[in-house]
Chain A
């Protein structure tokens, strides 16, 4: 079996799952599954790369393999690891910068914000409607402005806070930083812009799912509507702004990510994650390699 084949499989897995998640509209109907598919592709890619390295290190190549020789394998594996290292370096730089900014922000929050124990949130004195989360030690902080407390109903406030706490608990900031790292490393094309945009929307929808589980979908959708300043009871179908898409997703189904599409995508995510290992153990990879070589 050939290291180059495994590297190619890694590229195909990460590329295909990204394209399928970004270029089509179905992820808006199954955001958790879409994120799962993208993560599954990532896990599959890294497994493929690790197996390619093992294959190279322990000489697992098939004896009849003649066309793609050792040098090509070494170059392919090294190039793939160099790309991973480049992304990791960008991620670490972005993470450090963000952590420093957050530390400063927490210091300012401690000065101007008021902790409200029963809400488990910090309230900022502002006429602006604000709701966000600041990750940090001991779980971080959900922050809202006092104008939100006066303008929103208790159910809507609970839903906004559940949304922000979901960001903190599920460490969404790390996903955002990973997305930024990929955007830094990849060429500045339309695709990378769409990738970051889609990734951000899916993460928001994932947090909406947590809020709807805790506070109900009607309260969460109402909070979103109030947030966007709309008076429409139902989201306008023609509008494709992020908040409208999120409201549509909340109101469309009873359960979050419980549709048949979601189940199928979760299955595909699992397959993508175990594909390299499964292909090797079943001998499928060797057959694919022989087919490519001959």
Chain B
């Protein structure tokens, strides 16, 4: 069951990685050409993958232009942050998870976190 997800994710990752690196929205042909250096993919395969990513809400399609252009809805960092926030929420026991989180982050990140919490507290007062 899990193998299927890995294969699917592999291609999606490559296509999304290409969109992340691009300076702006890309056509299917542009994505296919970018990926051609690593793997040879049919135009329809790239198109299907992009449409699948759009259905999943990871990619948005600009229907205004004649040639369909695709771009990622968020940066890689933003998507990873969303995944981790969601994962911490699902994993439950928020209290313990947050305590462990404080333990594992870098001193610099801890400092930023403390400052943010201080600022929020002052704003609340």
Contacts and interface: CB of A to CB of B under 8 A. Distances in A.
B1 A138 contact: yes
A120 B16 CA distance: 25
Given A105-B86, A128-B97, A111 B5 contact: no
Interface string A102-115: 01111111111111
Interface residues of B, number: 31
Given A104-B56, A107-B57, A128-B104, A114 B6 contact: yes
Given A107-B57, A111-B12, A111-B16, A130 B1 contact: no
Interface in B1-27: 1-6, 8-9, 12-13, 16
Given A110-B9, A113-B9, A132 B16 contact: no
Given A104-B56, A130-B87, A139 B79 contact: no
B124 interface: no
Given A107-B57, A229-B100, A130 B5 contact: no
Nearest to B10: A110
A130 B91 contact: yes
A141 to B, nearest CB: 6
B56 A141 contact: no
A126 B97 CA distance: 12
Contact of A107 (B3, B56, B100): B56
Contacts of A285: none
Contacts, number: 88
A281 B2 CA distance: 50
A110 B8 contact: yes
A116 B6 CA distance: 9
A138 B4 contact: yes
B101 interface: yes
B5 to A, nearest CB: 6
A121 interface: yes
Nearest to B101: A128
Interface of A: 101, 103-117, 120-122, 124, 126-132, 134, 138-139, 141, 143, 147, 200, 228-229, 242-243
Interface of B: 1-6, 8-9, 12-13, 16, 56-58, 79-80, 82-84, 86-88, 90-93, 96-97, 100-101, 104
| Top 3 closest pairs, chain A to chain B, by CB | A110-B9, A115-B6, A107-B56
Given A108-B82, A111-B12, A111-B58, 11 more contacts: A101-B86, A107-B56, A111-B9, A111-B16, A112-B80, A114-B6, A116-B2, A120-B1, A129-B100, A141-B2, A143-B87
28 contacts: A101-B86, A104-B56, A105-B86, A107-B57, A107-B58, A108-B83, A109-B5, A110-B8, A110-B9, A110-B13, A112-B83, A115-B2, A115-B3, A115-B9, A116-B2, A117-B2, A121-B2, A124-B83, A124-B84, A128-B84, A128-B101, A128-B104, A131-B91, A138-B4, A139-B1, A228-B96, A229-B96, A242-B93
